Amino acid sequence: MAEYAFKILVIGPAAVGKSSLIRRFVNNEFSLQYQFTIGVDFMTKIVEYEPNQTARLAIWDIGGQDRFKMLRRNFYDGAHGALVVFDLSRAQTFSQMKKWIFDMYQIMQKEVPIVILGNKFDLISEIGEVLDRNELHQYAEKENSFYFETSAKTGNNVEKAFIEITQRIMGKNF
Ligand code: GDP
Ligand code: MG
């Protein structure tokens, strides 16, 4: 039995890899087939965020609700923290993501720990960088957050991201 239970949101623009990151973390699977997320989806997983310290994460995938801002209120309710995702291969998703953070705080009427994920890191070697890495780190720092480059495809940094958000919620790094 895990000692703690936390609600973690995974938010960000469409098709950045939110559902894929969750599937990689929870089931260690990946598919290139795009599966549109209908409604709200959630999965649970126990994470060992420190040696012999576990927490049960309820991971909420915002899915098709991205377009219905009104419905987001229920989704955000009671969340302890969020992974905020953009796509390293599509620059516009970074500025869209900033708006997601702004809207979340406005709807929740408080700030919660967040970790920012630049996903699809595996594509950078093919297409090159479309965003300035310094800017990404600076932005995360300004938001009192942490920035990871992840790949749901290779699994790069995926578990680390979930551990980081859990530690921040526990007040270790926040
Ligand atoms: P969501 O709309 O944010 O939930 O995005 P999905 O998880 O459904 O992913 C959108 C598309 O991007 C799918 O075709 C995935 O296979 C693909 N994808 C997701 N993560 C990665 C990644 O890290 N690398 C690559 N190359 N493709 C990814
Ligand atoms: Mg999805």
Task: Note the pLDDT tens digit of each residue in 59-103.
Answer: 999 876 556 667 778 889 999 999 999 999 999 999 999 999 999
- Confirm or reject: Cβ of 43 under 6 Å from ligand 1: no
For residues 28 and 116, give the distance between their C-alpha atoms in angstroms, rounded to a whole number.
Answer: 21
> Of 10, 11, 20, 89, which is best to mutate to test ligand 1, by the most ligand atoms within 8 angstroms of its C-beta?
20
CB of 87 within 8 A of CB of 124?
no
Indicate if the alpha-carbon torsion angle 66, 69, 75, 79 is positive or negative: positive
What is the Cα–Cα distance from 129 to 131, expressed in whole angstroms?
A: 6
Segment 164-173, tens digit of pLDDT? 999 999 996 6
Which domains, ranges and CATH numbers included, belong to the chain?
A: 3-171 (3.40.50.300)
**Residue holding tokens 């997320």?**
37
